[in-house]
Amino acid sequence: MGSRPNITELAYIAGFLDGDGSLMLQIKKRKDTVQGWRFMCTICFYQDSRHDRSLYWIRQTLRCGYISKRKDNITELRINGYTQCYQVLIMLKPFIRFKSNQVRALLKAITCLKDKRVSELSKHEKLNVLSCITTIQKHNYQSSRKRSAKLLKKMLNLTP
Residues paired with residue 27 on neighbouring β-strands, in sequence order: 39
Q: What are the pLDDT tens digits along the chain (160 aa)?
A: 457 899 999 999 999 999 999 999 988 877 777 777 888 999 999 999 999 999 999 999 999 999 999 999 999 999 999 999 999 999 999 999 999 999 999 999 999 998 888 778 888 998 899 999 989 988 877 655 556 666 666 666 666 5
Query: Using an 8 Å Cβ cutoff, are 91 and 5 in contact?
Result: yes
3-state secondary structure of 91: helix
Name the H helices within the chain. Answer: 7-20, 53-62, 82-92, 100-113, 123-139, 149-155
Q: Which fold does the domain 7-155 belong to in CATH?
A: Endonuclease I-creI (3.10.28)
Nearest CA-CA partner of 10 in 89, 102, 66, 80 = 89
